């Protein structure tokens, strides 16, 4: 029974194929006014309104499907573009960091030839940690005792004095900034506003000296105290480390390191002294690299 059904279906299929071939041959061979062409036009005339109505009825659904397709495709393209933009931004950031590092290293190398650093062996280090307090009092650098760094070694950057070394390990060191209230700096006021000349002059003349102390919470402002009110101190005069020593006790800093520039002089709380505001040369909130001055002349009374 099953085989008969299969043979019957095959016979019907063959017959339909034959009829289709005959109709196609007749259709292509007869004239435009022939019966087959007439039937084709009639069927098209009947079905055309139905197709047009179906087209209109299905258009909202088709548009909705197309909208979803285009939305998902656009979302995928946006995600890809965002990834590409993020990658490009990372590349630009790395390039800018490299350019900034190179410029800073060049300035540090130029500083190595400063007369004020005579006898010292600068060790370049990167800042890897910062003080979380409003005092901006400490930094952590990635060099320590294994690089010949010792406690109380002066720390500078390309702009000027930063601080001195406090606690340290073999591979890291804590830098006590000049904004630390326990880290006062003896300073000399030079009569010139030329930074390069300030560094080379050192202590060739009798200039007024005082103590530089920080202003709480403001790393851009230092105070120079104990300058006699009769001393003519003007804006833009330069401060360098005094580096005094009496043979038994010494300043924690060697002489001639640039500290900052006078921004304002006013009467102090004590009648005989002025209150002088100083802007440090080093931007203590944004330091990436420093140099630790190792070795150098003996400073009696300063523990190493």
Q: Give mean pLDDT, residues 153-162.
A: 92
Higher pLDDT, 102 or 19: 19
Q: Is 143 exposed, middle or buried (0-12, 13-18, 19+ CB in 10 A)?
A: buried
Q: Give mean pLDDT, residues 141-163.
A: 93
Q: What is the pLDDT of residue 153?
A: 94
C-alpha closest to that of 148 among 168, 128, 175: 168
Is the distance from CB of 187 to CB of 211 less than 8 angstroms? Answer: yes
Residue 87's pLDDT band (cuts 50, 70, 90): low
Q: What is the pLDDT of residue 175?
A: 95
Higher pLDDT, 195 or 270: 270
What average pLDDT does the chain have? 75
The rounded distance, in Å, linking the Cα atoms of 218 and 134 is 8
Q: Catalogue all structural domains in the chain, each as residue range(s) with its CATH number.
A: 1-28+35-112 (no CATH), 115-295 (2.40.10.340)
Residue 186 pLDDT exceeds 80: yes
Q: Which helix (H) or strand (E) holds 109?
A: helix 35-112
The rounded distance, in Å, linking the Cα atoms of 208 and 234 is 12
């Amino acid at each position: 029974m099953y085989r008969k059904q299969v043979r019957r279906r095959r016979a019907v299929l063959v017959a339909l194929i034959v009829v289709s071939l005959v109709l196609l041959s007749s259709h292509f061979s007869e004239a435009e006014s022939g019966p087959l062409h007439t039937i084709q036009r009639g069927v098209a005339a009947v079905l055309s309104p139905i197709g047009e109505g179906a087209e209109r009825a299905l258009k909202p659904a088709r548009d909705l499907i197309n909208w979803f397709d285009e939305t998902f495709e656009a979302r995928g393209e946006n995600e890809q573009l965002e990834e590409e933009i993020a990658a490009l931004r990372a590349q630009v950031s790395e390039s800018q960091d490299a350019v900034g590092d190179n410029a800073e290293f060049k300035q540090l190398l130029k500083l190595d030839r400063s007369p004020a650093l005579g006898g010292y062996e600068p060790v370049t280090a990167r800042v890897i940690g910062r003080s979380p307090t409003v005092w901006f009092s400490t930094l952590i650098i990635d060099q320590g005792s294994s690089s010949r760094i010792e406690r109380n070694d002066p720390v500078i950057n390309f702009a000027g004095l930063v601080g001195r070394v406090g606690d340290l390990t073999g591979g890291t060191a804590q830098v006590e900034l000049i904004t630390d209230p326990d880290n006062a700096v003896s300073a000399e006021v030079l009569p010139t506003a030329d930074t390069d000349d300030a560094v080379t002059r050192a202590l060739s003349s009798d200039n007024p000296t005082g103590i530089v102390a920080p202003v709480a919470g403001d790393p851009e402002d230092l105070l120079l105290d104990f300058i006699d009110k009769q001393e003519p101190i003007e804006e833009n005069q330069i401060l360098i480390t005094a580096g005094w020593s009496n043979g038994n006790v010494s300043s924690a800093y060697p002489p001639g390191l640039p500290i900052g520039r006078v921004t304002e002089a006013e009467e102090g709380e004590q009648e005989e002294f002025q209150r002088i505001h100083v802007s440090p040369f080093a931007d203590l909130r944004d330091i990436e690299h420093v140099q630790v001055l190792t070795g150098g002349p003996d400073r009696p009374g300063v523990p190493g």
